Amino acid sequence: MPFTDANVIKARAIIARYPHAKSAVLPLLHLAQDQDGWVSRDAMEEVAALLHIEPAQVLGTCSFYTMYKREPVGRLVVSVCTNVSCLVNQGPELLAALRARYAGDDDVFVEEVECLAACDLAPVLQVNYDYHGPVTPDAAATVIDEYKAGTRVARTVSGGRVA
């Protein structure tokens, strides 16, 4: 989807914060992902147009960073850490259990991630960038299902603002 009118205004305000417009690439990609749940080709072209640069430059930057999803993902991005403090606290087992449980679920995208800087809570996961830990696979599934049912409010996908 193209940026909504409100987001075009936001985008222009973001660009104005920087001495050089190209610095706004990351924030504008976050804005696009907040709006659509992922970053489409069209969104990259629109960001390029707003910044007066080539779409390939936006893609070049976008494709370097793991948070930007260049294909549609579910409403819920579940990021499970398996780096070493979680490794020795059943992080990989948590990842495997959630992958199996949500294998056919289009709403839930389970990904393996590097250290989330919350290792005292190991094993740690995020649901749309909200932290949960330490969690067993069953406790994690309960939490994820609450987000699915709307009894917990999830952030927009890029980890951007809540209210």
Partner 1 sequence: MAPKETRIVTKFLHEHPDDSWTIDAAVANGAYKSLRKALTEMTPEQIMNEQVKASGLRGRGGAGFGTGQKWSFLPKDVFPRYLAVNADEGEPSTFKDHMLVERDPHQLIEGIVITAFAIEAHVAFIYLRGEFALGADRLERALADAYARHFVGNNILDSGFDLEIVLHRGAGAYVAGDETGLLESLEGERALPRIKPPFPAVQGLYAQPTVVNNVETLSTVPHVISRGGEWYAGLGVNRSTGTRIFSVSGHVERPGNYEVELGMTFRDLIEGLAGGVRGGKQLKFFIPGGASSPWLLPEHLDSPLDMDYVQNDLKSMLGSGAVMVFDETVDPLLVAWRLSKFFAHESCGKCTPCREGSSWIERVLYRMSHGEGRPEDLDLLLDFGDNIVPGLNAPFAQTTICALGPSTMSPVVSLGRWFRDEIDERMRAQAEPTATKVLIR
> Where on the chain is the footprint of ligand FES (CB under 6 A)?
81, 83-86, 115-116, 118-119, 122, 124
Q: Which residues contact 48 (CB under 8 A, 6 or more apart)?
A: 54, 55, 57, 58
* Identity of the residue, 59 or 119, whose beta carbon is nearer to ligand FES in the bound complex: 119
Q: How many CA atoms lie within 13 A of 156 on its CB side?
A: 16
* Identity of the residue, 27 or 133, whose beta carbon is nearer to ligand FES in the bound complex: 133
Neighbouring-strand partners of residue 109: 77
Residue 66, binding choice from partner 1, ligand FES, none, Cβ under 5 to 8 Å by partner class: partner 1
What is the binding site for partner 1 (CB under 8 A)? 17-20, 22-27, 29-30, 51, 60-61, 64-68, 79, 82-85, 87-89, 113-120, 122, 126, 128-131, 155, 158-162
Q: Which residues contact 121 (CB under 8 A, 6 or more apart)?
A: 131, 132, 133, 134
